[in-house]
Amino acid sequence: MDLRKISRDSAQTLANYLTYQAVRVVLDQLTETNPPQSLWLRDFSAQISFQQGSEDYLQHLMQANQELAFRIMTVRDHLATNIPEFLPEMVRSQVQEANLQQRKVFFERLTQTPLGPEVIHPEVHLPLDLRSLPPDRAADSAA
Amino acid sequence: MDLRKISRDSAQTLANYLTYQAVRVVLDQLTETNPPQSLWLRDFSAQISFQQGSEDYLQHLMQANQELAFRIMTVRDHLATNIPEFLPEMVRSQVQEANLQQRKVFFERLTQTPLGPEVIHPEVHLPLDLRSLPPDRAADSAA
């Protein structure tokens, strides 16, 4: 597991995402101030998607309407500058909360299913690698 | 522009992305240790995509193979815990670097195109809102 590469890729993903958010911000502004241009940008964004990356999108936009491209770049710079320093902490909390929810749903489903004698009782917290052993061997290992 | 909402959504996007990376990590590990299960997880991930969110993916996986689901949850927890504190700074640098590149490409393209008299010279750095004015009015405003 290459943590440095995953961090770099995460930063790139977030930069792409902020570009997408910048397009949304500009779209919202145009809806108020210049509805025809808002429609034009919507159409453009439906044709040139973000699938090939936000830089590709911006390069196409630069050729079609340089003013809007520069405006989106300015907004994404503003968003990136104002990302809270505690974003990593927010992500940690979200993942831990999501893991807790997944476990909760899993155990709730277990307790709602009629248990046969071959099903391990959900309150027994065996290490993960023991779960896949047949009950006899699991009991041996636990002893 | 709702910066708090954009920050929350960014954290959620990153949490989803780390789940995707966790699946990749587990796939890599299985390729080494348990190739048939690696193939199974690849097939599963092709059928249940991340399009509907990583939690939906995990819930389906929990029903199909709870051990793998728990393993992916453990890995994403590890990734989230080890996201560098300076990730926001990395994102800022990436966006600024990308903006610089976009401007460079734009001005390079401008200088390679034969300029007519009606095209503003690329070295003239007018404020964005002046670009859309006719040359006469732009000159008036700049004066």
What single-letter DSSP state applies at residue A51?
Answer: G
- For the beta carbon of residue A23, count every other beta carbon within 10 angstroms: 24
Residues 36-95 of B with CB under 8 A from A: 54-55, 58-59, 62, 66-67, 69-71, 73, 75-85, 87-88, 90-92, 94-95
ipTM of predicted complex: 0.75
Average pLDDT in chain B? 83
C-alpha B15/C-alpha B24 separation (Å) is 14
Closest residue, chain B, to A91 (C-alpha) = B11
Give residue-wise pLDDT tens across range A84-93.
999 999 999 9
Long-range CB contact pairs, B126-132, < 8 A, 24+? B128/A67, B128/A70, B128/A71, B128/A74, B131/A66, B131/A67, B132/A67
pTM value? 0.75
The pLDDT of residue B115 is: 53
Give residue-wise pLDDT tens across range B61-115.
999 999 999 999 999 999 999 999 999 999 999 999 999 999 999 988 888 865 5
Residues B50 and B57: beta-carbon distance below 8 Å: yes
